[in-house]
Structure 1
């Protein structure tokens, strides 16, 4: 999630200004978000195979045959899953942050520029404070979504090797379908509901303070 936030913020800052081909790049950037998670999981499953395109690219660059078993190694499998999630959901973070960025009052930025503030100073002292509520909302949405990660991960690794890439959603699925411990599963689901409710209430309070929703 931190990587998605930083990439989304960097892209939002870039797209806040006009440049040639902006609409085309904007459309391309949002495409991963439109892909069905199950399809994205299968795409990356094939990409990270030992004989897949990624190893072919590494073989061409190194000049020798590379056959890394990405999805069989606990560390590499986790990296592969993270890359897949970043690819698909950074556009959502970008879209939310861009909406907050274009809402920053331009007169304040112009005034700071006239007073001699450089771009970094303007960003830290004006842009980020004005975007605080949007940032919290974006992070809250991704926290909630992370609890629901299942399709992509299950198709790529099934939570393996071992439990290296097992998330709470995959764990609940396994306990439900394999162990049939219904009471335990219900307790986990209730705990998740409480945690996500706290996150949602916190985000809503921030929105209310900013007068985005009625207090």
Structure 2
């Protein structure tokens, strides 16, 4: 509802511009993609924030204090102490986010239905359309299985890499 032509986003832009703004966010291919991206980021940022905050809490405070006493500036403390300790957590958060990006369906289907045209059509929306409109079940099953295999390989590779870094 935020991106409707009479919605709050256009109202806020109208306040800043001083004249009525009626941008068709979900009808323009480029703007529809931007609107979907903003909605998806808005939806998943809290989870990513909580995962990264949990990792940040796990960074040993005594090491950060020691680095401060030895004269390390905030950038050095972050790059030399905090970031190496958070690599695994960042990898897990990225893996979850990549998997969620492949799964995105409901936001896209509600906002644009994959359109205008195919501007915001992802693989999950494509699979849905092929399964419900064209009824090519074997093709849909093959695509879904291929996605499962590719994501499994990527996740196993990421987990092995994280285990190697940890060792």
Pick the TM interval, shorter chain: over 0.9
Does residue 1:127 correspond to 2:82, yes or no?
yes
Shift of 1:206: 4.5
Instruction: Using the TM superposition, name which of 90-99 and 194-203 deviates more.
Output: 194-203
Does residue 1:155 correspond to 2:106, yes or no?
no
Contact kept, 8 Å, 1:133 with 1:206, in 2: the verdict is no
Match of 2:132 among 177, 192, 198: 177
Corresponding residue of 1:106:
61
Contact kept, 8 Å, 1:59 with 1:66, in 2: the verdict is yes
Listed as ranges, the matches of 1:62-77 within 5 Å are 62-77=17-32
Q: Secondary structure at the match of 1:131?
A: helix
**Equivalent-residue separation in structure 1 for 2:14 and 2:52 (angstroms):** 38
**Equivalent-residue separation in structure 2 for 1:128 and 1:88 (angstroms):** 25
- Show structure 2 runs of 5+ residues with no match: none
Match of 1:164 among 119, 139, 143: 119
Shift of 1:200: 2.4
Corresponding residue of 2:15:
60
Contact kept, 8 Å, 1:49 with 1:71, in 2: the verdict is yes
Contact kept, 8 Å, 2:91 with 2:162, in 1: the verdict is no
**Equivalent-residue separation in structure 2 for 1:100 and 1:57 (angstroms):** 36
Number of aligned residue pairs: 166
TM-score by length of 2: 0.94
Write the deviation string for residues 174-214 of structure 1: whole angstroms up to 9, x where unpaired.
01011111121111111101111112213433554537xxx
**Equivalent-residue separation in structure 1 for 2:51 and 2:44 (angstroms):** 11
Contact kept, 8 Å, 2:26 with 2:35, in 1: the verdict is yes
User: Could you say which structure has the greater relative contact order, defined with CA pairs below 8 angstroms and 6 or more residues apart?
Assistant: 1
TM-score by length of 1: 0.74
Shift of 1:107: 1.4
**Equivalent-residue separation in structure 1 for 2:100 and 2:12 (angstroms):** 32
Corresponding residue of 1:12:
none
Contact kept, 8 Å, 1:159 with 1:165, in 2: the verdict is yes
Match of 1:89 among 15, 19, 44: 44
- Show structure 1 runs of 5+ residues with no match: 1-45
